[in-house]
Amino acid sequence: METGIGLYIHIPFCRQKCAYCDFYSVLAQPGAIDRYLNSLAAEMRLQGQGQLISTVFLGGGTPSLLTARQISTVLDGVSRYFLLAKDAEISMEANPETLLNTDLAAYRVAGINRLSLGVQVLDNDLLPHLGRRHTAQDALTIITRAQAAGFTNLSCDLIYGIPGQTMVGWQHDLQTITARGLPHLSLYCLEVHDETPLGQAINSGKMQLPDPDLAADMYDWAREFLPQQGLVQYEISNFSRPGFECRHNLIYWHNDEYLGLGPAACSYRSGVRACNVADMDTYACLVQSGQRPVGSSECLDVRGSAAETVILGLRLMSGVDAHKFVQRFGVTLEDVFGDTITDLLQRGWLVSTEKGYALSAHMVPLANVVFRCFLTDTNT
């Protein structure tokens, strides 16, 4: 497998805003997508220097609002300005609603070899609470059609902790999805952002979040159930059959380099994290006039970068790799975080592995508590 960087391409369009979502996206107006693809090509011209790309991730927004022809245009740009590895993983996020009248095989022909479906929940009473316009049956139909179109590398996102969701409903969703034989699942606890319609409904008392203990029980149940179905937990929120781990996201968790294109997309290169402006018009003006559309950037010092590498690595069940840490920073994990590691091993929050350290199984749901220890260590 060739080792290059990851390329994230933001497709900032949605048909309507979901009630819980705080990602940057705008409503798709006629002609806006083609205009955006011109800007994206301009940014590729600016940023592309023939870098080897191992993974491409089309995220959003709703990349599946693009036709297969438009996706093909985007990937042609990638091949033109970068060096796309022959075995590159090329993922596209998709909202089932947008694919109902679409020839899914055309996306495969365009170059997509991994599809990530935003199923979220299989309950027609809960989907409108989330602002989703598809039904449970629509989502299942798209799964069947994607499989028939030859998408063997197929993932779906599910959300737990939704107002009104029950344990029985959650179990039903996981049983229904796993019965379809998908090789990858991502499970997210509903995050409530104050500025979203869901956040406002909860803050004003119109809606109530479920008991946090119930959400925790839902996660625990999934961690027991999914391995019995052959889906191994490889990251805090992700489960897959062996060999179907998301290679693009592994780049993030290994704290390796990636380049983000499009408004609000972030990059991590040579120790610098830079995020593009989160505004379509400003983005278009900048790239069309030959300027990089960076809105903010941060140069991480070595200690900050080391802490980040540990925290991201610990998200993986395989843990943080001590040998790679030495290769990267020229010092051992123990040199930098010796006291914290000793303390966490004594508490039973970390375990030693063949390659380094990992969260102990009972701390996976409480990973943030462990992460804070490394951040505190950094600040001392």
Q: Are 104 and 112 in contact (CB under 8 A)?
A: no
Choose which of 61, 63, 161, 183 interacts with ligand SF4 (CB under 6 A). Answer: 61
Task: Give the CA dihedral 25, 31, 36, 39, nearest 10 degrees.
Answer: -150
240 binds ligand SF4 (CB under 6 A): no
Phi, psi of 208 (to 5 degrees): -125, 135
Taking CB under 6 A as the criterion, the residue among 47, 55, 62, 305 binding ligand SF4 is: 62
Kindly state the tokens that stand for 290.
């030959």
E strand or H helix at 35, and its extent? helix 32-47
Nearest to 21 by CA among 64, 56, 60: 60
Contact set for ligand SF4, span 8-27 (CB under 6 A): 14, 17-18, 21, 23, 25
Is the Cβ of residue 130 or residue 344 nearer to ligand SF4 in the bound state? 130
| Minimum distance, C-beta of residue 378 to ligand SF4, in the bound complex (Å) | 32
Shortest Å distance, C-beta 193 to ligand SF4: 11
Residues 82-111 binding ligand SF4 (CB under 6 A) are 95
Question: What's the chain's length in residues?
Answer: 380
Minimum distance, C-beta of residue 42 to ligand SF4, in the bound complex (Å): 23
- Using rule CB under 6 A, residue 278 touches ligand SF4: no
Q: Taking the complex as a whole, how short is the minimal distance between the CB of residue 295 and ligand SF4, in angstroms?
A: 19
Question: 196 vs 378, which CB is nearer to ligand SF4?
Answer: 196
The footprint of ligand SF4 on residues 112-131 (CB under 6 A) is 118
- Relative orientation angle of helices 32-47 and 68-81, to the nearest 10 degrees: 10
Kindly indicate which of the ranges 37-45, 60-68, 257-265, 270-278 contains the residues binding ligand SF4, using the contact rule CB under 6 A. 60-68
Please, what is the minimum distance in Å from the beta carbon of residue 61 to ligand SF4? 5
Residue 377 C-alpha from the chain's centroid: 27
Nearest distance from C-beta of residue 264 to ligand SF4, angstroms: 11
* C-alpha–C-alpha distance, residues 224 and 174, integer Å: 11
Under 8 Å between Cβ of 256 and 6: yes
Residue whose pair of structure tokens reads 């970390």 in the numeric block: 350
3-class secondary structure, 160: strand
The residue count for binding ligand SF4 (CB under 6 A) is 11
Residues 308 to 327: which contact ligand SF4 by CB under 6 A? none
Do residues 359 and 341 touch, judged by C-beta distance below 8 A? no
* Cα 289 from Cα 205, distance rounded (Å): 47
> Considering the rule CB under 6 A, would residue 143 count as an interface residue with ligand SF4?
no
- Binding to ligand SF4 by residue 254, rule CB under 6 A? no
Chain residues binding ligand SF4 by CB under 6 A are 14, 17-18, 21, 23, 25, 60-62, 95, 118
